[in-house]
Structure 1
Amino acid sequence: MPSQEIGVPIPNIPHAVSVTLPTWAATVGYEEGEEWVTSKMNSGYPRFFIHTTIKQLCKKIQDKYGREGEECLVFPSYKVAKRCREFIKKRSGGKIRVLQLSTAEPVTEAEKSTKVGTSVGVTFFPKSDFPLAKSYWQHSGEGISSRMGEYINKELFTAHRSVTKSELQAEKIQSRSPSIIASRSSNSGSNDDVEKEFNTFIEQKFGRVLDLKFAKEAKRALRRRICGKVDVSRNQIEEIEKSKRGKYLSESDVYLFPSGMASIFCAHHALLNLTPGKSVCFGFPYVDTLNILRKFGPGVHFLGLGDDESLEKLEKDLEGGGLSIMALFCECPSNPLLKTPNLKKIKELGDKYGFAIVVDETVGNFFNIRVLPYADMVASSLTKVFSGDSNVLAGSLVLNPLSKFYPKLKRFFDTEYEDLLWCEDALWLERNSRDFVERVHRIDRTSEKVVDLLSACPKISQVYYPKTSPTRHYYDEIKNQDGGYGGLISILFHDSKDAIKFFDAVDLHKGPSLGTNFTLACPYAILAHYQELDEIQEWGVDRNLIRISIGLEEDEDLLNRLEVALN
């Protein structure tokens, strides 16, 4: 059952992506830094809340290599740590330095299953600059994962010996044993030992022991899986037939990242290195997409409404010569208002005026919609429905081989791209995503039933959903034959008091993220835009908006829970 206790991870495992904020007041208290909430927050969304394991690693590195008055953050490569250094230096006069640390390579065949040679970059900065470093961590999405932090901590600071093949096999057998469950109620050993043992069982249930030597194969499987789904309707792509190039999307055009935000950050970084200039953010996006466009590079033109009138204005500005842009970034559909942009018209403008188009299709997901023909790059957060289990952060970026920017982008990625997706995270993601298509089908069907229920409630003034949106015709133009309308729904009550009552009463998981295998709700504007509630109203996002991400619960059970809360 969904926990109603502040700060409990969702799901309640060591590497969970979401965290419980069970009431409207708790969400406000979190945003305002009130102790009755913050004192209970032992976990959180990884880009916003630095995992305890990573904090411990940073503390040990600081104690060993740091200087007086410094703090540090650990990144998955030296190049990323240098990017963080440059970000801080542009905004502060403090002295910033970078250190590279490496772990040992496996020596024996047996060690290859549990050991991998890797390097991290450590950015040291004055304590007063921590907010800037944390800002880079959040916006870029390039921080290390909690699993990587756990591994680096063990390799650098914990004395250990090599694991033999027989010991590894014994560990696999033990991890499948139901007796580990019973250890929870055992009186032997400390509570910490019991909890650690149980967490190990959960993370390795059904024999899902992570064998690190298969990480490369897992990543290839992920790229092929993404490639197949993105290109599901390739025979319908008119541009391919016209070109007669015979060049279709391949797995080499799919790049993996440590978060969805990192894929957007890298797309922007690549374009700045090829054709520097301002970008357009079309439509009201997820908060850090706009932060990336604002804080890295020369700036952004924000067309927050993302409607036909905004597109007409953009076209006039481009025609008049008063506006020249590097790229246009948009979501399809947008989060949280579920608007679908006119991608066909955007592509026409891109072709005519020579700017790149980057589409984030996380909310729609690449099984439901086909955006590649209208984009030069397609970004996606694999943390969401592709994974579903809410226990791993990852992202992907797909290059369109038919794009006029493709040759330059491909050369850039061939020389500059770093594979920063931690091997254990890749292994988890590959396993999580095997039933991606089946889950999407089920979530799509349930979501339409939920929309029907919510639309019939007289206390609700508006239901935001791609199928019921005024922009549905644009969604239908890009919807795959077997696709649906996704699992994200936003609602607005006539009375703000009713919104609070409903949210507090509804028996669902409540916290950040979306696309989880369990239904997840949050007061979105409060959680994502608390410091700018008046500003976002201008773009049609009400401060009392509630967002619900539909999961895999039985229809009858989920509808009943919602109905009880509405009543």
Structure 2
Amino acid sequence: MPSTALPSQSIGAPIPNNTAHAVSVTLPTWEATVGYEEGEPWVVNKMHSGYPRFFIHSDIQQLCKLIESSYARDNERCFIFPTYNIAKRCRAFIKEKAATMSPPLHPAVRILQLSTPAPANTQEESYKIEANIAIVFFPSNLFSLVKQYWQHTGEGISSRLGEYFLSEMKDKLAEEINNKGPSAKDSISSRSPRTSRSSRSSRSSVSVNNSNISNKQESATFIEERFGRNLDLRYAKEAKKILLSRLASEYDPSYVDASNTYLYPSGMSAIFNAHRAVLGCASAEDAQKLKSVCFGFPYVDTLNILRKWGAGVHFYGFGDDESLDDLEFRLESGEKILSLFCEFPSNPLLKTPDIIRIKYLSEKFGFYIVVDDTVANSSNVNIIPYCDIVVSSLTKIFSGDSNVMAGCLVLNKKSKFYSQLKKFMDEDYEDFFWDQDAIYLERNSRDFQGRSQIMNKNADEVLKLFQSSPLISHIYYPSVTSPESKKNYDAVKRENGGYGALISIVFKDQTDAVCFFNTIKLSKGPSLGTNFTLVCPYAILAHFKELDEVAKWGVDPNLVRLSIGMEKSSELIAALKEALDAAQEQHLV
């Protein structure tokens, strides 16, 4: 069960407290959230943590600086990826997008590969592994462009891989920086013959606090293995096998088994690679010409992926029956589409699409269906019979502890596209899910089903509280969003399933929303599916620069999203009621 300690209310503190690889970060007030989005120093300068695809972890930042000081040419920056193939994809993205700039740019982009030594003996196997990274060097003026690839695809290195690589190679890089250079026998190896080491002598030296890095890693390892029942690195492969079997067991075995279930380092990476799989299975002509459909208002980077890779996207932001009517008319009129991506239900509006009708249209008109079931999760709904690919963020409720990023992609064995998709995955899939992350995820997910049931029950109690509040104009939750949406959800809800942990509420007055959010004594920051309740002003946090645009799709600036956790129901209700009462009191003044 979650700790009873009060969550931090300090800007920039990790969520959970004192967690080196925390997934969320504290933004304790509405004003702090706005300040973060506007880049205000009083907020930004305190952000020592953040959601990993948006905020580059301090260990990764330090590793980048060391590598740049040792290997970069003048005016170059770098991003680090776990494999050479991913680095090549990033390089292709940079060149393609830079060529469309005004004026067009044709930057030099280089890739360097580095590796750490393999364990020298069986004793070292418990804490040491051969790790590989691929570094993309690019002109520094393109940093914001390259960060788009990092954010959208979720394919950057994990913070734990950054920490491990930093601890293993810090001495060697320090030698490089100080112009001592590694010898041919050094265990850190460069595997890129094209890499230049020019201008090293012109750069200032970078100091590395070796003892701090080692102490932090040893302390974290001791605590997690002593109290968290973690496996050690020798069992990373077994941990991944367990995870694949655990994930596959969530579905009917006639549709899914471990052989068609794939692990990724983030949910976004699973979505990106699902899109890559669809593009890879299509003919070259279709991949270049046919647009995909984004059905329903999605998490922001799903839409970014469909816009920036492939032929583009038709966006049906409402994701309702009328939208399906329009899509069907488009298809009946002769237009072809490549695929349809949707969330089940959507985040943050908790709208559930008519997946059975979508399946019917797919059979008739021959497009792929990719469903993200993160919000409902596989313990509550059985979505696999109605799509070709299921993707999910395991960072969320499957993990629950908010201390590891992960995702999965599952193929439907009964899909008409299964043979093509399976062939693509067999030839293309790389396991770049870092071993230490797999070990943490295996531990965290052991009680996934039980935690999901507790969250379902708590969410139902919270729903009743909000339904009685005169301050709230609308509640979004799969059972109450709309009769149409509830019918669509119930059509695939498991017999013992619930409606999930995510609730969005819209206040009639923004001053009430601000008072409620600022008063509530719960964790406040991005992410969802955590074992503890997590609250954020979603529209402000995710769409601050496009509030007018997202309002067209029903995402109100006064929307507050709550991911309900496992606290005692009475304590949770008391905390929420206290905040509602404070908002009610100031409303009457």
TM-score normalised to structure 1 length: 0.90
**Equivalents in 2 of 1:265, 1:192: separation in Å?**
33
Deviations along 1:31-89, one digit per CA (max 9) or x if unpaired, are 00000000000110000000000011111111111100000010010111111111111
**Equivalents in 1 of 2:93, 2:124: separation in Å?**
38
1:106 paired to 2:134: no
Greater CA drift, 210-219 or 384-393: 210-219
**Equivalents in 1 of 2:417, 2:479: separation in Å?**
33
Greater CA drift, 98-107 or 440-449: 98-107
Tell me the residue number matched to 1:369.
381
**Equivalents in 1 of 2:28, 2:164: separation in Å?**
32
- Tell me how far 1:204 sits from its aligned partner: 3.4
Identity in percent:
57
- Residue pairs, 1:490-501, within 5 angstroms: 490-501=504-515
1:69 paired to 2:83: no
- Tell me how far 1:203 sits from its aligned partner: 3.3
Amino acid at match of 1:148: L
1:542 paired to 2:548: no
- Tell me how far 1:207 sits from its aligned partner: 5.6
Confirm or deny: 8 A CA contact 2:396 2:402 kept in the other structure.
Answer: yes
- Residue pairs, 1:54-93, within 5 angstroms: 54-92=60-98, 93=105
- Residue pairs, 1:4-83, within 5 angstroms: 4-12=9-17, 13-83=19-89
Match of 2:491, SS?
Answer: helix
Match of 2:505, SS?
Answer: strand
- Tell me how far 1:106 sits from its aligned partner: 1.8
**Equivalents in 2 of 1:81, 1:453: separation in Å?**
49
Amino acid at match of 2:9: Q
**Matched residue count:** 523
- Residue pairs, 1:381-396, within 5 angstroms: 381-396=393-408
Match of 1:539, SS?
Answer: coil
- Residue pairs, 1:494-509, within 5 angstroms: 494-509=508-523
**Equivalents in 2 of 1:69, 1:527: separation in Å?**
32
- Tell me how far 1:313 sits from its aligned partner: 0.5
Tell me the residue number matched to 1:299.
312
Tell me the residue number matched to 2:164.
151
Match of 1:447, SS?
Answer: helix
**Equivalents in 2 of 1:52, 1:194: separation in Å?**
16
Confirm or deny: 8 A CA contact 2:167 2:214 kept in the other structure.
Answer: no
- Tell me how far 1:208 sits from its aligned partner: 3.1
Match of 1:280 among 285, 293, 302: 293
- Tell me how far 1:298 sits from its aligned partner: 1.1
1:265 paired to 2:272: yes
Query: Compared with structure 1, are the counterparts of its residues 252 and 192 closer, same or farther at alpha carbon in structure 2 (3 Å cutoff)?
Result: closer
Match of 1:204, SS?
Answer: helix
- Tell me how far 1:200 sits from its aligned partner: 4.9
Confirm or deny: 8 A CA contact 1:74 1:143 kept in the other structure.
Answer: yes
Tell me the residue number matched to 2:491.
477
Amino acid at match of 2:279: L
- Tell me how far 1:503 sits from its aligned partner: 0.4
Match of 2:250 among 220, 229, 232: 229
Confirm or deny: 8 A CA contact 1:210 1:424 kept in the other structure.
Answer: no
1:416 paired to 2:423: no
**Equivalents in 1 of 2:96, 2:29: separation in Å?**
39
**Equivalents in 1 of 2:506, 2:255: separation in Å?**
43
Deviations along 1:214-241, one digit per CA (max 9) or x if unpaired, are 011101101111101122xx6xxxxxxx
Confirm or deny: 8 A CA contact 1:393 1:425 kept in the other structure.
Answer: yes
Match of 2:278, SS?
Answer: helix
Tell me the residue number matched to 2:176.
none
Deviations along 1:414-465, one digit per CA (max 9) or x if unpaired, are 0100111100000000000000000000000010000000011011111110
**Equivalents in 1 of 2:66, 2:213: separation in Å?**
21
**Equivalents in 2 of 1:50, 1:210: separation in Å?**
27
**Equivalents in 2 of 1:490, 1:24: separation in Å?**
16
1:117 paired to 2:130: yes
Query: Compared with structure 1, are the counterparts of its residues 269 and 207 closer, same or farther at alpha carbon in structure 2 (3 Å cutoff)?
Result: closer
* Structure 1: gaps of 5 or more residues: 161-189, 235-246
Amino acid at match of 2:275: H
Amino acid at match of 2:396: K
Amino acid at match of 2:246: R
Amino acid at match of 2:281: L
* Structure 2: gaps of 5 or more residues: 1-5, 99-104, 174-210, 582-589
Runs of 4 or more above 6 Å deviation? 190-197
Query: Compared with structure 1, are the counterparts of its residues 194 and 251 closer, same or farther at alpha carbon in structure 2 (3 Å cutoff)?
Result: closer
Tell me the residue number matched to 1:253.
260
Amino acid at match of 1:108: N
- Tell me how far 1:154 sits from its aligned partner: 1.8
Deviations along 1:477-506, one digit per CA (max 9) or x if unpaired, are 000011000000000011111001100001
Query: Compared with structure 1, are the counterparts of its residues 498 and 103 closer, same or farther at alpha carbon in structure 2 (3 Å cutoff)?
Result: same
Tell me the residue number matched to 1:338.
350
Confirm or deny: 8 A CA contact 2:255 2:384 kept in the other structure.
Answer: no
Deviations along 1:510-545, one digit per CA (max 9) or x if unpaired, are 000000001000000000011110000111110111
- Tell me how far 1:285 sits from its aligned partner: 0.2
1:453 paired to 2:474: no
- Residue pairs, 1:309-328, within 5 angstroms: 309-321=322-334, 323-328=335-340
**Equivalents in 2 of 1:487, 1:316: separation in Å?**
35
